[in-house]
């Protein structure tokens, strides 16, 4: 009886350890996939009952166009429409810029749109409303 109990306990111990290893490798895979989907800068044009700040959105898009023209590059943006009042997210990886250029671009965008209460920013996060 004691041998049977010890055998059962040992098998449970080893099976739990194997499950834990599988969970850890699954978590590692999730972290790798998540890091691939991280965007350097996300900008959200939100609404509080009366639509987005269309002027701010146009300023942002114009700023990006000018920046691309002046620097002879293309800023890759993913956008996601959400809500019923024109809410939209723009997600930028900015891989084509070095760290200093990324920081400067983000700072310039924030400065441009600092007076709009309907614009939100996040950095180094996933793109929540991205549509494939």
Question: Model pTM?
Answer: 0.71
Residues 71-95: pLDDT tens digits? 999 999 999 988 889 999 999 999 9
The domains of the chain are located at 1-36, 39-126
Banded pLDDT at 123 (limits 50, 70, 90): very high
- What is 39-126's CATH number? 3.30.70.260
In angstroms, the Cα distances linking 51 to 31, 57, 86, 109 are 36, 12, 6, 21
């Amino acid at each position: 009886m004691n041998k049977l109990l010890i055998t059962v306990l040992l098998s449970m111990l080893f099976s739990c350890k194997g499950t834990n290893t599988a969970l850890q490798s699954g978590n590692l895979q999730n972290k790798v996939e998540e890091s691939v989907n991280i965007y350097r800068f996300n900008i959200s044009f939100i609404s509080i009952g009366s639509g987005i700040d269309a002027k701010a959105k146009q300023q942002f898009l114009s700023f990006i166009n000018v920046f691309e023209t002046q620097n002879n590059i293309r800023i890759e943006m993913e956008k996601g429409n959400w809500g019923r009042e024109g809410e939209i997210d723009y997600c930028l990886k900015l891989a084509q810029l070095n760290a200093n250029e990324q920081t400067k671009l983000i700072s310039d965008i924030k400065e441009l749109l600092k007076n709009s209460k309907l614009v939100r920013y996040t950095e180094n996060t996933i793109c929540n409303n991205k549509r494939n």
